[in-house]
Amino acid sequence: MRFVLSLLLAVAACHSEPAPHHPTEGEVPPLPPASGTPVGYLLDSSTELKLRPEQLEKLQKIDTALVAENADIDVQLRQIEKPEPEEQISPQESKAGKKAERRNMAPGSSVAGNADSVKLHKIRDNNDKLALKTAWSLLDPDQQTTAKKVLEDRGLEVPGDKKGPHAPDEAGQPVPGMEP
């Protein structure tokens, strides 16, 4: 009985990993994600957008240039935006029942920024908008409809779309009869 049980356990312990999937002839393996830029998102959706080879080539050039421009900015931001130091509790405070302050550990949430980092973020956003505007001009109207959905799904502003109602020209002016 023990022999059968030990044999059964030995067989159960020996399992094999499934064989890795190798694409068959004509099957295309999935592409790695693009650079994380707005243009890169369009490149990731190239089959959905039905991009022509010349469009794909031009979009790749735009994306490469954008990544290079933003790389310098990202290096500067990493040097400026250091995470806030975590508060250390002394052993005496710990014995007294004091607990460490809870913190949001999401990426970028505990970063101390300054005026320079705000300027760099604006430059980076402007780079993204300009590159996306250039890429948008390469797309056909039916491709733009699909691209709009791709960008909106990622929370990005679509070139040419107006965001919300505009404030009237007299915004910031005192109401008549309420002047100082």
Degrees to nearest 5, angle at CA 124 with 168 and 139: 80
Give the pLDDT confidence of 95-105 residue by residue, as tens digits: 777 777 666 65
pTM of the model: 0.58
Residue 21 token pair:
């999937």
- Binned at pLDDT 50, 70 and 90, residue 131 comes out as very high
Residue located via tokens 């929370």:
155
Q: DSSP for 109-126?
A: TTEE--HHHHHHHHHHHH
Query: Which residues does residue 112 pair with via DSSP β-bridges, in sequence order?
Result: 82
User: What stretch of H or E contains 83?
Assistant: strand 82-83
- Residue 127 pLDDT: 92
CA 151 to chain centre: 11
Is 110 buried (19+), middle (13-18) or exposed (0-12) by CB count in 10 A? Answer: middle
Give the pLDDT confidence of 17-62 residue by residue, as tens digits: 666 666 676 665 555 555 578 898 899 888 899 999 999 999 999 9
Contact 30, 53 (CB under 8 A): no
Mean pLDDT, rounded, for 134-145: 92
- Residue 60 pLDDT: 92
DSSP at 35: -
Cα–Cα distance, 38 to 34 (Å, whole number) = 10
Instruction: Say which amino acid occupies 2.
Output: R
Q: Kindly tell me if the per-residue pLDDT of 73 is higher than 80.
A: yes
Higher pLDDT, 138 or 9: 138
Mean pLDDT of the chain: 77
Q: Kindly tell me if the per-residue pLDDT of 138 is higher than 60.
A: yes
